[in-house]
Every structure is written in C-alpha cells, then in structure tokens.
Amino acid sequence: MTDQKRMMTLLKTLVQTNSESPPGREEEVAKVLKRHLEDYGINCRSVGPSERPNLIFSTHEDEVGPLVIHGHMDTVPAGPKENWTYPPFAGAIDGGKMYGRGTCDMKGPVTALTETMILYKESKRKVPLMMLATSDEESGCSGAEEVAKSGLLSDVKYGVCAEPTGLDVLVGEKGMFWSKIVAQGKSAHGSRPEEGINAIALAVKALASITRKAFPFEEDNLLGVPTLNVGMINGGIKINVVPDHCEVHLDMRIVKGQTTEGLMQQIRERFIEAGLADFVDLQYIHGKPAVSTPVDSPIVGATLDAVEKVTGRRPEPSAATYGTDCSVLQPKVGIINVICGPGSIEQAHQPDEFIRLDQMYQSVDVYLDIANTILSS
C-alpha cells in the first residue's frame, strides 16, 4: 500500500534540493534518490559524470527487466523569487498541493516512480522492474544520451516516461530542430546605407524564404503539423550604423518525414534560390527526432487499462508537443515508450509550480498496474 507520508517526505526533500539547469546541479538530488531506494534494497548503477549522474535502479540486483519507468532530476531555473507566492525551494503545502520548482516537472512524478519501485520490490515478483533518473533533460537530454551509449538498457523493451500529463496517455512527441540564421553584411554610416550591406535586412529576407511555404512532412493525426518559432534576433550596434552582423534563432518542432539533416539542406537551398547564399548561412544548434508508438502496442494498452482502472477514466491517446528523454531512448536504445505522469504540463516552468498530491498518489497505482501487466506477460 502506498506510503503517503514517505512520499511527502521524499518530495519535500527533492524540492528543497536545488537542481536547476543551467548550471546543472543534479548531484545532490541523485544522492537523495540513491540513498532512499538503497534503504529498501534496490540496486543502483550510475552512468555519466559524477557531477551530473544518471541513475539506473533495479529491484533485482544486477538484473535487467523488460520495463523501465523513467524521469529526470533537473529543473529549469526558478527565476525571480518575487514572482513566487510560495518560496520555490521550500516545498510548501496548501490545499492538497505542493508548491515549488520541480514539483510537477518532475520531482513529483519521480517520487511516484520511487514509491512504485519500493512497493514492487516488496511484492517479491520474479521479474525485475527498472527505473531511470536522468540529468540534463531540460537542456538537451545529454543524460539520456549517456545512458544510451552505456548499453545498460539495451535489453529493455518498454518504457513509461512520467512527465506530467495529468495521467493522460501520450504515445509520441514532436521532434526538435534548433538552428540559427547567420547573416554577414558590411557596416556603413546610417546616413549612407547604400555604401553598406544591411545584415538585418538580409536575415529578414532569409527568414521570409524559410516561412514562404511549408517544408514536406508526413501527415499524422497524433503528431499534427510542424511548427516554427523565431526565438531570438540579435543584430546591429547602434541606430545610425548599418549592421554588418545579424543572427536569428529558430525553434522548429518537427514531425514524421522530417529530419534535421534534411531541413538543413532544404533551407540552404532556399537561400540559394533567394540569392542569399553569399551572405547568409544556417548553423545547427540542437535536434531530436519525432517519435511515436503504435496505439496497438502492449505498453499502450497496459497504460490505458491501468489509468482507467485507477481513475475510472479511459484517456484518448495523443502526442506531446514538447520533448522528453523518449526522443533518445526510443530511437537509440529501442525502448518503446508511452508518456504518462501526474501533474499538469501547464504548471511546468511557471512561478508557483505545483502538483496535486492525490494525483501523485494515484499514479503509483497506475505504474504498479502497468508493471504487473507487462512483467507477467
């Protein structure tokens, strides 16, 4: 039976242990999780640098099972404390909710995973249950990359990512392609613009060539359509100087049929067509592929059944617009994932972030039911 007091104590300790990224402070949170689970006889292996570790737990020492439940230990920065009604690192409780940075994204869900591991261990099942806690998910999933390279999860078939979904069931996520337009012009006095080459004007033309029509993609009812956000523009030094340099940072969320390599090539071809290639280049920043799990996969069915059994509500499978560690674990390790966790993604990254405690407790029953189904099949 779920020990709510044990969960509350752990969650409060995790929230009070700062793990903002940047700069990346997961080491102390990792120590808290490791001590907590090892106290209940759950084995731990650490992968990656000691200051930013990734923890792989098993209910059976040195054994790997076919299911891993996973989440990340880092949080985004809290931002100005005056924007918070409740202190961001106190773990204040009010109205059945705990407030604080990371409560829903995702120290609350990780707390639920640890309780699941403890209860599964106590049930003395023959097949091991795995848990993964990663670092650096918020800034690029480098922790999941370290785990993929280690090969320690290569025999794991299914995964449940506990990102906050309100216990809805997500079976895929859009990919990510971050890049920047770099325009190089020639400076001149602002009163004689004809003597210079305006880099900002070049960047605007380059952006227009990108947005004039959609890039090809494979239609998918779950993943939807790709999106583009212009996140930053930097250019110019003074109002009366023709700018000789400009950068435009782009955030594209990609779907099936699109790759970062393919988009890089297509965008550069548009620069050539627009006569901009001598002055404008596209530089890669970061990217992850879109991933999806067939709705008839056993892990999807087990998760839908578990949520319905625990909550009385059967969700309609959908997909995430945001990125998770699944974008690494699915293509690079072969783990077939669903995303299902307590808390609302609308609370993530916000002042006064919170998680409903009753939903966090419910999620333990959901994860145990999934484990019992998958690990007995």
* C-alpha dihedral (238, 243, 245, 251), degrees to nearest 10: 80
Q: What is the pLDDT of residue 38?
A: 97
pTM: 0.90
Q: What is the pLDDT of residue 377?
A: 63
* Contact predicate 252/156, CB 8 Å: no
Q: What is the pLDDT of residue 117?
A: 98
Q: What is the pLDDT of residue 110?
A: 98
Contacts of 203 (CB under 8 A, 6+ apart): 181, 183, 233, 235, 246, 247, 248, 280
Q: What is the pLDDT of residue 248?
A: 98
Residue spans of the chain under pLDDT 50: none
What CA–CA distance (Å, rounded) separates 134 from 54? Answer: 5
Q: What is the pLDDT of residue 240?
A: 97
Taking the alpha carbons at both ends of the chain, their separation in whole angstroms is: 23
What CA–CA distance (Å, rounded) separates 255 from 288? Answer: 10
**From residue 310, how far is each of 305, 363, 366 by CA, in Å?**
9, 8, 6
* Strand order through the sheet with 245-254: 227-235, 245-254, 175-184, 280-288
Q: What is the pLDDT of residue 24?
A: 87
What CA–CA distance (Å, rounded) separates 165 from 339? Answer: 7
* Contact predicate 171/291, CB 8 Å: no
Two tokens, residue 106:
């995702």
Please state the three-class secondary structure of 300-351 as a single string: HHHHHHHHHHHHCCCCCCEEECCCCCHHHHHHHHCCEEEECCCCCCCCCCCC
- Domains present along the chain, CATH in parentheses: 4-173+290-374 (3.40.630.10), 175-288 (3.30.70.360)
Upstream peptide bond of 106 is cis (omega within 30 degrees of 0): yes
C-alpha dihedral sign at 192, 195, 198, 199: negative
pLDDT, one tens digit per residue, over 84-116 is 999 999 999 999 999 999 999 999 999 999 999
Count of residues making up the chain: 377
What CA–CA distance (Å, rounded) separates 89 from 91? Answer: 6
Burial of 111 (0-12, 13-18, 19+ CB in 10 A): buried
Q: What is the pLDDT of residue 293?
A: 96
DSSP code of residue 214: P
